[in-house]
Amino acid sequence: MALSLPGERSLAAATPANPFVAFTRWIAKAQAARTRRVALSALLELDHSRLSDLGISRDDVTAAIAAPQGARLLNTARARNSHA
């Protein structure tokens, strides 16, 4: 019997057998993505001084909207712009 590493599993082995579980996960991912888009859109409504107080710029927010890992981009921008 050959040993397989976790990264060597086929995609079929990683998918849930229950379609209800798969659908539930899909719904959860869609809701999380929507919540993220709404939060980032709310940041765009803030004026420049409020965004500056948060340590980010409007360009940082628009980049975060376009990127799949937007929160990481905003955290990096805040660290870069920190005055401490």
13 has pLDDT over 80: no
pLDDT in tens, 33-74: 899 889 888 999 999 999 998 889 999 898 888 887 777 888
Q: What is the pLDDT of residues 17-34, one digit of tens each?
A: 788 998 999 999 999 989
16-54 burial code (b ≥16 CB/10 A, e <16): eeeeeeeeeeeeeeeeeeeeeeeebeebeeeeeeebeee
Higher pLDDT, 26 or 14: 26
pLDDT for residue 7 is more than 90 = no
In this structure, are residues 60 and 73 in contact, taking their beta carbons and an 8 Å threshold?
A: yes
pTM (two decimals): 0.61
